[in-house]
C-alpha cells in the first residue's frame, strides 16, 4: 500500500505500537538492510541520557546548521505535529514526504514480517528518518536515543563524530534496570571504539563512574563539561545569559538544568570539525523547544517532563520566576513512570488539579493519580478527555500548569 495521505502514514506508525518495546538491534539492522543501509550515507551526532536529550539534540542541530551543514534531526516525542520528529535544517519533514517515506519503509517492514522479525513503531520511525535524511543528502544527522542506548534502534549508526550523555536518573526501570549504575551502563552503549563522548560534571557520581569506565574500555576520549566554569550573568523565565570558559552565551530556555545541557552542547560542538565559536553561540541562541517549561500564554505553562528530576526542575522554575498563588494543574502521566515521586514535587505548588488520561496504551488511570494527590490537595477532578480537562482548567483558574507527559501535551495542543 502506498500512502497518499499523511494521516494514513501516521495511523500506520501508531498501529505498530502493538509490538511494544523490544530492545535489540537485529530488527533495525535487517530493516535498514532492506532499504540499502541509509545510515552509511552521512555523519552522526548521537545523544543519550534520561533528561535533556531533546534539548541537547536540537541545540547541536542548530549549531551544525549555522556552520553551513545540511543537518537532519531525529527526536521524540512530539508536541504539535508528528512531523516534528524528523527535521532537516530546522524544518519538519513535509507531510507528503512523510507519507512517501513511510510507504517505502512499510514495504520493507512487511517483507520482514513474513520472516517473523516484526519491527516496532520506534524502529520503523528511525528507519524512515534515516531514509529521508539520505534521500535529501544530509551532511549530518543528530539522533536522539529513544530508550537506553545499548539496544536502542538509533545505535545502529556507525561511530558518531561525537556522542553526548546527558543527565542520568532512574527512569524506565522495568526495561533498563533498577539502579542508576545499571541505567548508566545501558546509556553508555552508545560509546563506540575510539570515539569521542561528552557528559556533565553534574552527572550523578554513580553514573559518572560508569561513564568513565565505559569510555576507558572503548578507548574513547571523554570530555566533561565542568559546571564550575559557569557564571550566570542574567536569568528569567525566558532564558539565561551565561559566561562559560570566558565566553558569553544566551540560552533561550528557563532553568539551571538547561545551563547544564548547554555547556555539554558547547563541549560537544568544540569536538566537531569546522564548527566555530560564533556557530555555537548562534546555534544555542536560535534553539526553540516546545513543551519544555514553555509559557504559551501569560497564564499557561506547559512542560512534558515526566520523572522526578523533571519535576524538581519544574518546581524550581515556578518558585523562582512565577508569582502565582492559585495554580490549577492538568496532569496526565504514563503508568510506567514514578508518578508518586513526580506528584510530590508539583502538587504542593497547586491549589487544584484536573487529572486526565493521554491517548496512549501506557497511560496511568486518572483515578490512581487522583488518589495519590490526596496527601497534597483538597480540590481535584477527573476529566478523561485531555482537551476537556485543559478547557475546564482554563475556564476555572487564574493560572494553568499542564504537565506530566509529552503525550498529554500532544493530545491537547496537536494541530
Residue 288's pLDDT is 92
Residue 17's pLDDT is 78
Evaluate whether 210 touches 185 at the Cβ level (below 8 Å): yes
| Share of residues in the chain with pLDDT > 70 (%) | 97
pTM: 0.90
Q: Which has more pLDDT, 151 or 77?
A: 151
Q: Is the pLDDT of residue 146 over 70?
A: yes
Q: Which has more pLDDT, 1 or 394?
A: 394
Q: Is the pLDDT of residue 8 over 60?
A: yes
Q: Is the pLDDT of residue 39 over 60?
A: yes
Angstrom distance (rounded) from CA 162 to CA 164:
7
Per-residue pLDDT, averaged over 249-262, amounts to 94
Residue 80's pLDDT is 86
Under CATH, which number does the domain 6-285 receive? 3.40.1190.10
Q: Which three-class secondary structure state does DSSP give residue 216?
A: helix
**CATH top-level class of 294-413:** alpha beta
Task: Report residue 59's pLDDT band, with 50, 70 and 90 as the boundaries.
Answer: very high
Q: Which has more pLDDT, 20 or 273?
A: 273
Angstrom distance (rounded) from CA 157 to CA 38:
9
Residue 176's pLDDT is 62
Which tens digits make up the pLDDT trace of 148-206?
Answer: 899 999 999 999 999 999 999 866 555 566 688 999 999 999 999 999 999 999 999 99
Residue 336's pLDDT is 83
How far is CA 149 from each of CA 23, 131, 220, 246, 353, rounded to the nearest angstrom?
Answer: 9, 21, 16, 33, 35
Residue 165's pLDDT is 97
Domains 6-285 and 294-413 share a fold: no
DSSP structure string for 132-145: HHHHTT-SEEEEE-
Q: Which three-class secondary structure state does DSSP give residue 34?
A: helix
Residue 175: CB atoms within 10 A of its CB come to 15
Residue 19's pLDDT is 58
Break the chain into its structural domains and give their ranges: 6-285, 294-413
Residue 207's pLDDT is 94
Amino acid at each position: 500500500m502506498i500512502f497518499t495521505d499523511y494521516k494514513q502514514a501516521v495511523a500506520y506508525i501508531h498501529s505498530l505500537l502493538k509490538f511494544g518495546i523490544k530492545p535489540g538491534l537485529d530488527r533495525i539492522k535487517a530493516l535498514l538492510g532492506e532499504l540499502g543501509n541509509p545510515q552509511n550515507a552521512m555523519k552522526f551526532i548521537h545523544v543519550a541520557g534520561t533528561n535533556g536529550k531533546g534539548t541537547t539534540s536540537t541545540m547541536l542541530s542548530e549549531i551544525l546548521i549555522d556552520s553551513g551543514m545540511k543537518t537532519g534531526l531525529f527526536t521524540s516525542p512530539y508536541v504539535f505535529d508528528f512531523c516534528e520528529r524528523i527535521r532537516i535544517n530546522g524544518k519538519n519533514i513535509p507531510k507528503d514526504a512523510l507519507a512517501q517515506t513511510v510507504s517505502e519503509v512499510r514495504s520493507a517492514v512487511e517483507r520482514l514480517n513474513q520472516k517473523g522479525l516484526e519491527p516496532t513503531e520506534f524502529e520503523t520511525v528511525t528507519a524512515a528518518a534515516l531514509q529521508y535524511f539520505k534521500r535529501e543528502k544530509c551532511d549530518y544527522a543528530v539522533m536522539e536515543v529513544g530508550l537506553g542506548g545499548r539496544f536502542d534502534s538509533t545505535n545502529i549508526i556507525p561511530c558518531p563524530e561525537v556522542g553526548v550523555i546527558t543527565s542520568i536518573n532512574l527512569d524506565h526501570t522495568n526495561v533498563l534496570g533498577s539502579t542508576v549504575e545499571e541505567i548508566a551502563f545501558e546509556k553508555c552503549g552508545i560509546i563506540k571504539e575510539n570515539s569521542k563522548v561528552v557528559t556533565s560534571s553534574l552527572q550523578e557520581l554513580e553514573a559518572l563512574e560508569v561513564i568513565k569506565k565505559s569510555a576507558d574500555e572503548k578507548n574513547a576520549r571523554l570530555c566533561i563539561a565542568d559546571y564550575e566554569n559557569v557564571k550566570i550573568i542574567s536569568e528569567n523565565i525566558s532564558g539565561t545569559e551565561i559566561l562559560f570558559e570566558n565566553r558569553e552565551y544566551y540560552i533561550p530556555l528557563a532553568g539551571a538544568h538547561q545551563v547544564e545541557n548547554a555547556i555539554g552542547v558547547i563541549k560537544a560542538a568544540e569536538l566537531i570539525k569546522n564548527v566555530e565559536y560564533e556557530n555555537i553561540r548562534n546555534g544555542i541562541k536560535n534553539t526553540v523547544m516546545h513543551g519544555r517549561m514553555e509559557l504559551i500564554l501569560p497564564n499557561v505553562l506547559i512542560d512534558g517532563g515526566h520523572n522526578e528530576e523533571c519535576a524538581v526542575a519544574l518546581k524550581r522554575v515556578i518558585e523562582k520566576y512565577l508569582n502565582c498563588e492559585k495554580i490549577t494543574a492538568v496532569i496526565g502521566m504514563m503508568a510506567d513512570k514514578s508518578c508518586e515521586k513526580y506528584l510530590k514535587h508539583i502538587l504542593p505548588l497547586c491549589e487544584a488539579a484536573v487529572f486526565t488520561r493521554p491517548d496512549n496504551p501506557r497511560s496511568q488511570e486518572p483515578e490512581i493519580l487522583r488518589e495519590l494527590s490526596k496527601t497534597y490537595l483538597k480540590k481535584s477532578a477527573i476529566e478523561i478527555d485531555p482537551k476537556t480537562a485543559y478547557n475546564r482548567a482554563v475556564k476555572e483558574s487564574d493560572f494553568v500548569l499542564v504537565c506530566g507527559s509529552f503525550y498529554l501535551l500532544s493530545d491537547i495542543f496537536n494541530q
